Amino acid sequence: MATHGTLRRAWEGAFNGLLDLAYPRACVGCGADPGPGCEHLCWDCRAAMAILDGAMCECCGDPVDGVPGVRYRCSWCQAETPSFALARSAVRYRGPAKEAIHLMKYGAGLHVVGVWVPWLAACVGTHYQGCRFDAVAFVPMSPRRERERSYNQARLLAAGLARATGLPMEPDALVRMRDTGTQTRLTMKDRRANVRGAFGTARPERVRHRRFLLVDDVITTGATVNACAAALVDSGAASVHVVSVARG
């Protein structure tokens, strides 16, 4: 006898099939037909992803060429020890990954979140083996920007990762204290100054002594996630590890 869950999945499958007939899916990386079993990302774009598993800064995860097989710490992590324990990303922010993330952030491509959650989970499983976490947090947007966009992609990614890993999500772990504006045209030094003190904790009692997995979509210089980690650590967090979809 079919269970309620089985029937629901059957109806969902049939409904999605009808939607695919009426509105064929397009690959979020290249726009082509993604093909059977590929959801929203075709096999060619998956193969083109530059997975981050080679030489990188041992602390912030910034990839580097020409330093294989040796421990390496970038100049920024040497000059100022980050507030997070480690930061790791799944892929480089280029090619199909850049197109897909851009659609997710600026094109209301909420369906792209489901594409990236398995990549985030795989990144955590690869780089954080043996690490124990108490909760998942995310980089908050300013209220103004979130109203304009109507969603925070980091929050959605964190919720998906929490479900995939079985960890609880702490939605009030971080709040943005001030709107820092876009950092696209700022230097690394200016970015760090711009976000310093920009984040705080809404409920310190939910932060103290807990080990956080902090989620963002893209890490460029690491200034934002470092400022978030500093806010958590200053409120008593035991540790903060960062994971993002891509590294700029």
Query: Where do the domains of the chain lie?
Result: 1-48, 50-247
243 within 8 A of 120, measured Cβ to Cβ: yes
- AA letter at 33: D
- CB-based burial label for 25 (10 Å; 0-12, 13-18, 19+): middle
**Helices and strands in the chain, H and E counts:** 9, 6
Both structure tokens of 172: 């009030």
CA 155 from centroid of its chain's CA atoms: 9
Arithmetic mean of pLDDT over the chain? 87
CATH architecture of the domain 50-247 equals 3-Layer(aba) Sandwich (3.40)
**pLDDT at residue 25 in the model:** 77
Give percent above pLDDT 90 in the chain: 65
- CB-based burial label for 245 (10 Å; 0-12, 13-18, 19+): buried
In tens, the pLDDT along 27-56 reads 999 999 988 877 799 999 999 999 998 889
Task: Give the strand pairing for 135-138 and 211-219.
Answer: parallel
**pLDDT at residue 61 in the model:** 95
In tens, the pLDDT along 102-156 reads 999 999 999 999 999 999 999 999 999 999 999 999 999 988 889 989 999 999 9
- AA letter at 34: P
pTM of the model: 0.86
Report the Cα–Cα distance between both ends of the chain, in Å, rounded. Answer: 51
